[in-house]
Structure 1
Amino acid sequence: MSHYIIVSFETRKPELSPAEFKDYYDNVHVPVIQEAMGSSFPKSHARYYVKQQSEDPNNANSTLPLVLIGSVADIDYDALVIMTFENRQQFLEFQTKYGEPDIAAKIGASADKFTIQSKLKVIGLDHPHITFG
């Protein structure tokens, strides 16, 4: 398996509800990335949104991440995004194109509308080790 996997941790702007964050990401931001990147768009772009629980039923923005073990304070992101590329070469093509000033500006302007860019974290992953029951 030669897939190349990148994960980003993305944090919504506090003035947006989790639903508004998801809606913008899925219906506006991803199409912006697709159009800007063209054939350099990853093979897949999967968004996993952190499950939220209401802190205040009268305020849609007042939510806390559902944390089963650990501290809520440690979860400072709202989406875990997994991008899969065919191979390292496709990833490098994506990275090169993303680095073009006009492409970076277009995607960055969209991201600035719904995420806190200073909290963005992006890492590479090794291939999964999966155990099935």
Structure 2
Amino acid sequence: MPHTILFFVSRKQGISMEEFKTQYENDLLPLLKEVAGPHFPLEHTRRYIKRTEGQGKEATPRNPDTPAQVLVGAQADFDYDAIIELKFASEAAFGQFFQFVHTPEKAARVTAVEDRFMDRSQMRGVVLGDVVATKNE
């Protein structure tokens, strides 16, 4: 049974969305693939929140000039900048990945890159339960 983890990740103050995406895609992701080696997830999906330049009517301190395009809810509900989905073959596979990448040397390398563009104090993570998809066929 697949084991799926979601992380909600925020960029550091002063980092644009483009810089955030570029550093994630070009710096962090290749490093994660390198340090995880054979334990890299089956899938590593990034979903970036769409933001527009210009002050929104419900600006937040974290995003005063780059509001999300909120359909339901408030700006404060969407102060994170990306939803990261990691999919593993099993909970045991996730455990191997976690243990492998959290050795002191590897964890320090990953943290050093993340600290350049992520606000790690805002990061949140959760394990998903059942995932059900309906397709238009």
Does structure 1 residue 27 correspond to structure 2 residue 30?
no
Measured in 2, the distance between the counterparts of 1:13 and 1:27 equals: 17
Measured in 2, the distance between the counterparts of 1:36 and 1:130 equals: 32
Measured in 2, the distance between the counterparts of 1:111 and 1:43 equals: 21
The normalised TM-score by structure 1 is 0.91
2:74 counterpart (51, 57, 71):
71
**Which residue matches 1:97?**
100
Does structure 1 residue 110 correspond to structure 2 residue 113?
yes
Measured in 2, the distance between the counterparts of 1:21 and 1:127 equals: 30
Unaligned runs of 5+ in 2: 56-63
Q: How many pairs does the alignment contain?
A: 128
Higher strand share: 1
The letter of the residue matching 1:50 is I
Whether the aligned pair in 2 keeps the contact of 1:36 and 1:103 (CA below 8 Å) is yes
Measured in 1, the distance between the counterparts of 2:42 and 2:83 equals: 17
1:126 counterpart (120, 125, 129):
129
The letter of the residue matching 2:51 is Q
**Which residue matches 1:42?**
41
Measured in 1, the distance between the counterparts of 2:65 and 2:24 equals: 19
CA deviation profile, 1:77-100 (whole Å, cap 9, x unmatched): 100000000111110101111221
Secondary structure, aligned partner of 1:65? coil
Deviation at 1:3, TM superposition (A): 0.8
Whether the aligned pair in 2 keeps the contact of 1:5 and 1:127 (CA below 8 Å) is no
CA deviation profile, 1:60-87 (whole Å, cap 9, x unmatched): x931111111110121210000000011
Measured in 2, the distance between the counterparts of 1:37 and 1:131 equals: 32
The normalised TM-score by structure 2 is 0.88
Unaligned runs of 5+ in 1: none
Aligned-residue sequence identity (percent) comes to 32
Off by >6 Å, runs of 4+ in structure 1: none
The letter of the residue matching 1:36 is V
Measured in 1, the distance between the counterparts of 2:72 and 2:90 equals: 35
CA deviation profile, 1:100-121 (whole Å, cap 9, x unmatched): 1111101111110110001110
Q: Give the superposed CA RMSD.
A: 1.3
